[in-house]
Amino acid sequence: MLLLPVCFGHSWAGEILALTGARIIDGNGGAPLEDGAIVIQGSEISAIGPASVVPANARVLDLADMTLLPGLIDAHIHIGGSGGGSADPREFTPTAVENSLLSYLKFGVTTIYDMAAHPSLNSMKTVLETGELMGPRLYGNGFGITAPGSHPIRLITELGLLEYLGPFYFQVDNVADAREAIRSISAQQVDGIKLFHSRVEAGTTRFDADMEKLKPDILHTLIEEAHTRSLKVYAHTSFPSEVREFVEAGGDVVVHSVHMAETGANEVFELMAERDVAYIPTLAVFEGGYTSKPDSFFSPQLHDKVWDVLLASITAPDSVVLASREVPGLLNDRERSLEIAMANLGRALQTGVRIAMGSDAGNAGMLHGATVLREIQLMYEAGMTPMQVIVAATRNGAEVIGRGEELGTLEAGKLADIMVVNGDPLQDLSVLGNVELVVKNGKIINPGELEFKEVPQPTGDGF
Ligand SMILES: [Zn+2]
């Protein structure tokens, strides 16, 4: 560990801070700057370059042997889901959410995008912005729109969550309701609109679901109404044909891999590249719980960055992650989906589609923060270079969520969100797990000092 004379959240109010002596990967994809310096004033980067950019009056933090890169951006998460195995009631406490937010910082993630649906997105944004709650920047859709009874309505019904989560989904089957849904959602200060346009459903085998999709006139209306309000439209899709319908209707971001077919994928990626529709592959979620064998992934160092209640819940006897492994056909199905998704990521890359990184954390077994490392590894295995993966997880992520002006790269004038890792991630991406320091909004955070809060063990009824 670095021994640094810095305190938790210290901001050096009024002072100029310089991070020096490090390798700098700025997020734009060019060659790294060796022995570079970043100057921070207030919440912004004021200069980046060789040591000569550091003003004489700056407070200097020497970071030799370290690599500086933009704070990571996880462009697809669900803060409303614990990411655990749903086997411990402590997972569903407000404190669990706070601990998951800390996990993001421990993994160097300074921005997250909630892809729907969380009951209290707006209030969480507020407490994160004021600093009342410690965590990454939070953006999101808050709500989802789907065809009546389609994904994820059936899934949340089966999980017994309809009463709790149902109000955050609009099920529309006519144009008037589509208009009303967008009007109503946009009144909630959301950052985008999430649509489900898929005839298969997560949590089922590919053969036992053939859900209704959004009808063409409804799809068009939803996208048009969202764009009128300057909101981007994000879609859950599965087949190439669904992606094509979404893109041709004017959609902006495809938030999962094309994971149901390879045939026809190339043509769809060509169309996406032409219209600059971005792609978030979410490979890890197709693995079906990389966390179910924790010893193979969680080194002691990584283990410390995860609230142990969540990991224990995943391997508990009543874990839904383990139970899902007993669903006939589901594992084979996911394995095949992952193969298709990996192959299609290669195609998307070849075609020049803009790719961003998203973990889909919050789903069962997809831990907040930790899943980013797994996702990054899978993107690399699918054929992306370490630099391409880093650009996807930084600059592209910021652009895809509409924050490219202020976040995603290390450049003068941008917000100072920086990740400091020990080693060279261009040689080995697992180095991204060695987070020594995080800078968010110009403030230095020592991840080793972020302590998970305890929640009392449940005592029976009324917990
Ligand atoms: Zn998702």
Assign residue 23 the CATH number of its domain.
2.30.40.10
Distance 195 CA to ligand 1 centre (A): 11
Secondary structure of residue 75 in the 3-state scheme: strand
Distance 35 CA to ligand 1 centre (A): 39
Same domain membership, residue 319 and residue 221: yes
Same domain membership, residue 193 and residue 299: yes
Can you give the CATH number for the domain in which 147 is found? 3.20.20.140
Is residue 6 over pLDDT 60? no
Cα–Cα distance, 61 to 452 (Å, whole number): 27
Domain membership flag for residue 132: yes
Q: What confidence score (pLDDT) does residue 410 get?
A: 98
State which residues form the domain around 154.
72-400
Cα–Cα distance, 257 to 383 (Å, whole number): 15
Distance 288 CA to ligand 1 centre (A): 13
Distance 386 CA to ligand 1 centre (A): 24
Using one digit for the tens of pLDDT, what is the confidence trace for 276-301?
999 999 999 998 778 888 888 888 88
Same domain membership, residue 173 and residue 151: yes
Same domain membership, residue 65 and residue 80: no
Distance 109 CA to ligand 1 centre (A): 17
Distance 371 CA to ligand 1 centre (A): 13
Is residue 253 over pLDDT 60? yes
Angstrom distances, CA of residue 84 to CA of 89, 96, 420, 422: 10, 10, 27, 28
Average pLDDT of the segment spanning 373-393 = 98
Distance 436 CA to ligand 1 centre (A): 29
Same domain membership, residue 62 and residue 98: no
Q: Which of 11-15, 87-91, 343-347 has the lowest mean pLDDT?
A: 11-15
Distance 38 CA to ligand 1 centre (A): 35
Distance 447 CA to ligand 1 centre (A): 26
Distance 352 CA to ligand 1 centre (A): 24
Domain membership flag for residue 462: no
Distance 374 CA to ligand 1 centre (A): 16
Distance 412 CA to ligand 1 centre (A): 33
Average pLDDT of the segment spanning 147-155 = 86
N- to C-terminal Cα separation, the chain: 39
Secondary structure of residue 137 in the 3-state scheme: strand
Q: How confident is the model at residue 3 (pLDDT cuts 50, 70, 90)?
A: very low
Same domain membership, residue 200 and residue 126: yes
Q: Which of 30-34, 179-183, 332-336, 407-411 has the lowest mean pLDDT?
A: 332-336
Half-sphere exposure of 98 (CA within 13 A, CB side): 15
Is residue 8 over pLDDT 50? no
Q: What confidence score (pLDDT) does residue 107 get?
A: 98
Same domain membership, residue 108 and residue 37: no
Q: What confidence score (pLDDT) does residue 7 get?
A: 43
Using one digit for the tens of pLDDT, what is the confidence trace for 26-57?
999 999 999 999 999 999 999 999 999 999 99
Same domain membership, residue 57 and residue 161: no
Q: What confidence score (pLDDT) does residue 203 get?
A: 58
Rounded to the nearest integer, the mean pLDDT of the chain is 91
Q: What confidence score (pLDDT) does residue 70 get?
A: 98
Distance 10 CA to ligand 1 centre (A): 34
Long-range contacts of 325-334, Cβ-Cβ distance < 8 Å, separation of 24 or more: 325/288, 325/289, 325/292, 327/205, 328/205, 329/205, 329/207, 330/204, 330/205, 330/288, 331/288, 333/205, 333/206, 334/286, 334/287, 334/288
Distance 125 CA to ligand 1 centre (A): 19
- Of how many residues is the chain composed? 463
Distance 82 CA to ligand 1 centre (A): 13
Domain membership flag for residue 276: yes
Find the angle CA(152)-CA(158)-CA(160) to the nearest 5 degrees. Answer: 100
Q: How confident is the model at residue 239 (pLDDT cuts 50, 70, 90)?
A: very high
Distance 360 CA to ligand 1 centre (A): 5
Cβ-based neighbours of 304, under 8 Å, separated by 6 or more: none
Distance 17 CA to ligand 1 centre (A): 38
Same domain membership, residue 147 and residue 90: yes
Out of 360, 379, 400, pick the residue that ends a domain: 400
Using one digit for the tens of pLDDT, what is the confidence trace for 259-282?
988 999 999 999 999 999 999 999
Same domain membership, residue 273 and residue 170: yes
Is residue 185 over pLDDT 70? yes
Q: Is 359 left (phi over 0), alpha (psi -120 to 50) or beta?
A: alpha
Domain membership flag for residue 232: yes
Distance 58 CA to ligand 1 centre (A): 43
Same domain membership, residue 359 and residue 345: yes
Q: What confidence score (pLDDT) does residue 222 get?
A: 98
Q: Which of 119-123, 162-166, 370-374, 390-394 has the lowest mean pLDDT?
A: 119-123
Same domain membership, residue 418 and residue 306: no
Distance 50 CA to ligand 1 centre (A): 41
Average pLDDT of the segment spanning 364-381 = 96
Domain membership flag for residue 216: yes
Using one digit for the tens of pLDDT, what is the confidence trace for 188-238?
889 999 999 988 766 566 555 677 899 999 999 999 999 999 999 999 999
How many separate domains does the chain show? 2
Q: What confidence score (pLDDT) does residue 208 get?
A: 58
Cα 387–chain centre separation: 18
Q: What confidence score (pLDDT) does residue 403 get?
A: 98
Distance 287 CA to ligand 1 centre (A): 14
Domain membership flag for residue 463: no
Domain membership flag for residue 460: no
Q: How confident is the model at residue 179 (pLDDT cuts 50, 70, 90)?
A: very high
Distance 81 CA to ligand 1 centre (A): 10
Q: What are phi and psi of 94, to 5 degrees?
A: -55, -30
360 against 15, higher pLDDT: 360
Distance 115 CA to ligand 1 centre (A): 6
Distance 65 CA to ligand 1 centre (A): 36
Domain membership flag for residue 459: no
